[in-house]
Amino acid sequence: MRVLVLGGYGFIGAEIVRALGANGFGAIGLGRDEDLGRRLLPTAEWIGADISALDAPEKWEPLLSNIDAIVNAAGALQDGARDRLSAVHDVSIRACAAAATRAGVKTFVQISATGAEKDAPTAFMRTKSSGDACLRESALDWVILKPGLVIGPNAYGGTALLRMLAGFPLILPLVHGEARLQTVAIGDVADAVIAALKGEIPMRADYDLVEEESHSLREIVRAMRGAQGFAAPLAEINLPRIVGDAVSLCADVAGLLGWRSPLRSTAMTVIAGGVTGDSRPWREARGRPLRTLAESLGLLRSSAQERAFARVELILPVMLLTLSAFWIASGVIGVLERESAAGNLAAFDAPTAMGFVIAGSLVDLWIGAGLLWRPFAKMAAIASALVAGAYLCLGSILAPALWLDPLGVYVKVIPAIVLSVALALLLQER
């Protein structure tokens, strides 16, 4: 059986692609970056396409040739610079379902979410619900799987949020600490997909994929902290909701610039309302319950890499904003103090020196702004290292005396170069 996995190198999609290969299925992954898919999961076939642009059956038909089943693991948390919820969760899925019916595709497995209802408080849940509804109305053999809070070894989505919170040094600050959540191991989600494709569960049905018991967010983060090998916090701090709202607002602004933070308002709203479902239908269909929280965490590695990731996720925004502020401030000061700056370039005539200062200030501002715009952030970090290095070399030639400046004019550039290189290495999503 040849199975097309939408969102094939995503958090859940990648696990499904691996499970398909392990169970003898032919996996064809679909994602925006075909080359990235091949690098991450070289055993699968790959199709490069932006699902949000596949808004008509005619656009899907060439992709469904010789496809027996479709698994939709594509999704986005919130509208942003690179994501349109309605296009990803609803319009494209309606078009895909219509094309699949025409192409003779037999089975469609939809990865939705617990709480995906048409009157849900978030656009994420409402658009997911709309996509689910179109499948229920189709002639396909469909199964809708609704995972709770997914826990997996990959650091993305809800797992990344838990790791970040668990990795907070010394203290454990929480908003909505008493919210009730039910978890599911990512391996159980992949196993559910395999069961659906093999016909081992009743079709044309919805299943909440959640463990039997619920836990408070506080209990889950404590458990994650222990699972990662962090020491118990010296104190637990209950933060007021207004603090969470402020953090989410900042994360939403970052989302408009292309950053997919797990702290955006959609995530906070979902957590505040609780993530719970009915475990009974799945238990009855399979004859056994899903893994418990303790069992899911027991599958995770507890090593220096995991602890390092948790801390890096916490400090990365600070590193990024610091470097951006450095370059923007440098550019603004260069423009405001251009006469003084030009005076340091005694080797050139006044107009040429002033031209160098203005050009340099514009480059500084471009780098500072580029670091904030996610699609160009890595390029800007590389440019930051190169330009800072060029400034240092040229400055050493044109004004070597500044090496002895008591304010450390040149010396202070070296940490900026190191920070730029670190960001260039860390800025990747998968």
Domain membership of residue 109 (yes or no) is yes
Side-chain-side CA neighbours of 422 within 13 Å: the count stands at 15
Same-domain pairing of 274 and 331 = no
Domain membership of residue 229 (yes or no) is yes
Domain membership of residue 154 (yes or no) is yes
Same-domain pairing of 218 and 270 = yes
Domain membership of residue 309 (yes or no) is no
**Does residue 28 contact residue 5 with C-beta atoms inside 8 Å?**
yes
Domain membership of residue 310 (yes or no) is no
Tokens (6 digits) for 346: 């005694």
Same-domain pairing of 221 and 339 = no
Task: Tell me the C-alpha distance between 253 and 401, whole Å.
Answer: 43
Tokens (6 digits) for 40: 């991450």
- What's the number of domains the chain is made of? 2
Same-domain pairing of 413 and 274 = no
- Local mean pLDDT, 10-residue blocks, the chain (430 residues): 96 96 97 94 96 96 96 92 91 97 96 95 96 96 97 80 91 95 97 97 97 97 94 94 94 92 91 96 96 94 86 92 95 86 72 85 95 96 96 85 79 92 86
Q: Which residues contact 295 (CB under 8 A, 6 or more apart)?
A: 185
How many CB atoms sit inside 10 A of residue 418's CB?
Answer: 12
Which residue is listed with tokens 């959540």?
A: 181
Domain membership of residue 83 (yes or no) is yes
Same-domain pairing of 94 and 140 = yes
Tokens (6 digits) for 157: 């989505």
Domain membership of residue 308 (yes or no) is no
What is the residue range of 115's domain? Answer: 2-302
Q: What is the CATH number of the domain that holds 68?
A: 3.40.50.720
Same-domain pairing of 106 and 61 = yes
Same-domain pairing of 115 and 41 = yes
Q: Which of 244, 270, 302 is the last residue of a domain?
A: 302
Of residues 352, 359, 368, the one with CA closest to residue 334: 359
**Helical (H) or strand (E) element with 15:** helix 11-22
Same-domain pairing of 225 and 358 = no
Same-domain pairing of 176 and 228 = yes
Same-domain pairing of 297 and 321 = no
Which residue is listed with tokens 């007021």?
A: 240
Sheet with strand 205-209: strands edge to edge: 45-48, 26-31, 2-6, 69-72, 107-111, 141-147, 205-209
Bridge partner residues of 235 (DSSP): 171
**Does residue 214 contact residue 178 with C-beta atoms inside 8 Å?**
no
Same-domain pairing of 296 and 321 = no
φ, ψ of residue 13 in degrees (nearest 5): -60, -40
**Does residue 270 contact residue 125 with C-beta atoms inside 8 Å?**
yes
Same-domain pairing of 97 and 9 = yes
pTM given for the model: 0.89
Q: Which residues contact 70 (CB under 8 A, 6 or more apart)?
A: 3, 4, 5, 6, 64, 96, 100, 105, 107, 108, 109
Tokens (6 digits) for 156: 């993305």
Domain membership of residue 28 (yes or no) is yes
Task: Tell me the C-alpha distance between 407 and 419, whole Å.
Answer: 20
**Helical (H) or strand (E) element with 175:** none
Q: What pLDDT score does 429 carry? A: 63
